[in-house]
Amino acid sequence: MTTAPADFAIVPSSRPRTTAERTAVLDRLSFGVDFTDHMARATWTADGGWQGHRVEGFAPLELSPAAAVLHYAQEIFEGLKAYRHADGSVWAFRPEANARRFQASARRLAMPELPEEDFLGSIRALVETDLEWVPSTEGASLYLRPFMIATEPFLGVRPSRRFEYLVIASPVGPYFVKGFEPVSIWVAEDYHRAGPGGTGAAKFGGNYAASLLPQQTAQREGFDQVCFLDAATRTNLEELGGMNVFVVGADGVVRTPALTGTILEGVTRSSILALLGEQGTRVEECDIPVKGLLAGIRDGSVREVFACGTAAVITPIGRLAGESFDVTVADGGAGPITTQLFGQLTDIQFGRADDPHGWMHRLA
């Protein structure tokens, strides 16, 4: 099918917000509540492949009530950010990794792969069009949400023959309301977000739907987030609903659960592994049994536990609780490795540090 990167035609919004309206939004940033004036999109049909690449006004979609996505949840998404640097330029962090993961998710959900060039072209076209929506305040960025839905009006169960790819953008402040402060985690023993052979390694909306009930229960009990265990043995740590986890040992080794097919391969996770590895820190991708983790936290052989993902970058975990345990991580959680990695990553992302890996990709 198409190999050359398609041009995204710009069809300006007929109702862009005024400067005053935009400033009001940028002055009180939250997460994922406000959206920019435009969205990027393209359509895929079984007969014509990818077509209709364009940027147009952000507006409700017209969708048949029979659209397959509304019934069988054939949907995938991505999440990445555009960062404004001090000189005004705007950059994305490893967007080609998101493009490739979007293709991997598409394969798992029997959806068409979007060419990497189209993925990158769509975010560049949208950011160029809505450049004034990229915040310049400390720690703030423009969150980009590419996604694809099955739009064929058909109730039979088979892959849709029509899909819509869209990118919307939301100016965001720090993800967790409390900022860079330790969060409390409920370890779910009775619910799983993914199982062997399932969709856990894909960025698929249904994985999130499965995590909502345990998340709601945990929040009612006063916890910030849920950590899931492997469905097969219910003994090993996997990840949070939308973040990977790391454990820092007093022996200096940093461990994270291995990618076994049920865990989402985070771009933040792989960047942390790269940074630690080249600093000479021993990193291990392995099983992390909850039992051993709890014992380690209690006897001090585990010094830090943290979660990571694009939205929050890095979040220290201060407390882990489940049906039969409740432990507090050393020093309440925000340890030196956690703090250092947060600084290193955000310095690269915001252009305050060198980028020896070529991770930053200029958008505008």
Ligand X SMILES: *Cc1c(COP(=O)(O)O)cnc(C)c1O
Alpha carbons 53 and 124: distance in angstroms, whole number = 13
Q: Which residues of 233-266 are buried (b: 16+ CB within 10 A; e: fewer)?
A: eeebbbbbbbbbbbbbbeeeebbbbebbebbbeb
Residue 241 CB, nearest distance to ligand X (Å)? 6
Residue 60 CB, nearest distance to ligand X (Å)? 25
- Our finding on whether 268 is near ligand X (CB under 6 A) is yes
Nearest to 337 by CA among 288, 275, 258: 275
Residue 258 makes CB contacts below 8 A (sequence gap 6+) with 285, 286, 287
Q: How far apart are the first and last CA of the chain?
A: 28
Alpha carbons 272 and 278: distance in angstroms, whole number = 10
3-state secondary structure at position 52: strand
- Our finding on whether 203 is near ligand X (CB under 6 A) is yes
Residue 353 CB, nearest distance to ligand X (Å)? 19
Alpha carbons 35 and 129: distance in angstroms, whole number = 13
- Our finding on whether 205 is near ligand X (CB under 6 A) is no
Nearer to ligand X, 8 or 77 (CB): 77
- Our finding on whether 53 is near ligand X (CB under 6 A) is no
In the stretch 246-265, what mask flags binding to ligand X with x, by CB under 6 A? ------------------x-
- Our finding on whether 310 is near ligand X (CB under 6 A) is yes
Select from 54-62, 105-113, 242-250, 288-296 the region that touches ligand X (CB under 6 A). 242-250
Nearer to ligand X, 53 or 94 (CB): 94
- Our finding on whether 267 is near ligand X (CB under 6 A) is yes
When binding is defined by CB under 6 A, the residue of 5, 16, 52, 79 that contacts ligand X is: 79
Number of residues that bind ligand X (CB under 6 A): 13
Number of Cβ within 10 Å of residue 110's Cβ equals 11
Residue 256 CB, nearest distance to ligand X (Å)? 11
- Our finding on whether 171 is near ligand X (CB under 6 A) is no
Select from 30-38, 103-111, 115-123, 239-247 the region that touches ligand X (CB under 6 A). 239-247
DSSP state of 67: B
Number of Cβ within 10 Å of residue 199's Cβ equals 22
Residue 286 CB, nearest distance to ligand X (Å)? 18
Residues that bind ligand X (CB under 6 A): 79, 203, 239, 242-244, 264, 266-269, 309-310
